[in-house]
Amino acid sequence: MLSKIHHIGVVVRDLEQAYGFWRDVLGLPVQVVKTVRDQDVTAALLKVGASEIELLQPLSDRSGIGKFLAKRGEGLHHLCFETDDVAAELAAAKAKGIRVIDDKPRLGLAGMICFLHPTATRGVLIEYAQPIEEHH
């Protein structure tokens, strides 16, 4: 079952420059900064209430985030919902005929994650995340 909005993903050109707004102006504390090699991105999670903002800086123009930045510029990338069973949520989406990006959950910054394709979700990239306490 989806329990809350875990985070909102925002693509940025440069994390340090982005901190000037998200951390310094809005006062959101940086919780985690990590390079995720298989996604070719450096990501930072900033806490806001019970949710987070995930800033995504591409490491390459060829990565998915790099291509997004080149095509659309900085801004909103995805919406992530928290669940206690990401595999079950993914299976339920597939059973309903929802097009998915991931055939099975994988490890990401927010724990075990998977993505639903935006063509099946009215243009919004949707992520499901099952946090892993020691991972986050």
* CA atoms in the 13 A half-sphere facing the CB of 133: 0
Shortest CA distance to 22 belongs to which of 52, 65, 67? 52
Other C-beta atoms closer than 10 Å to the C-beta of 93 total 19
Q: Could you tell me which residues come within 8 angstroms of residue 55 by beta carbon, excluding any fewer than 6 positions away? A: 10, 12, 15, 18, 22, 43, 44, 46
Specify the length of the chain in residues.
136
d(CA 106, CA 110): 10
DSSP state of 90: H
pTM: 0.92
Q: Does domain 2-130 have CATH number 3.30.390.10?
A: no
Q: What pLDDT shows up at residue 118?
A: 96
Instruction: Assign 136 a pLDDT band (cuts: 50, 70, 90).
Output: very low
For the chain, the structural domain boundaries read 2-130
Give tens-digit pLDDT for 53-92. 999 999 999 999 999 999 999 999 999 999 999 999 999 9
Instruction: Assign 134 a pLDDT band (cuts: 50, 70, 90).
Output: low
Q: What pLDDT shows up at residue 38?
A: 86
Cβ atoms of residues 110 and 133 within 8 Å: no
Give tens-digit pLDDT for 11-52. 999 999 999 999 999 999 999 999 988 889 999 999 999 999
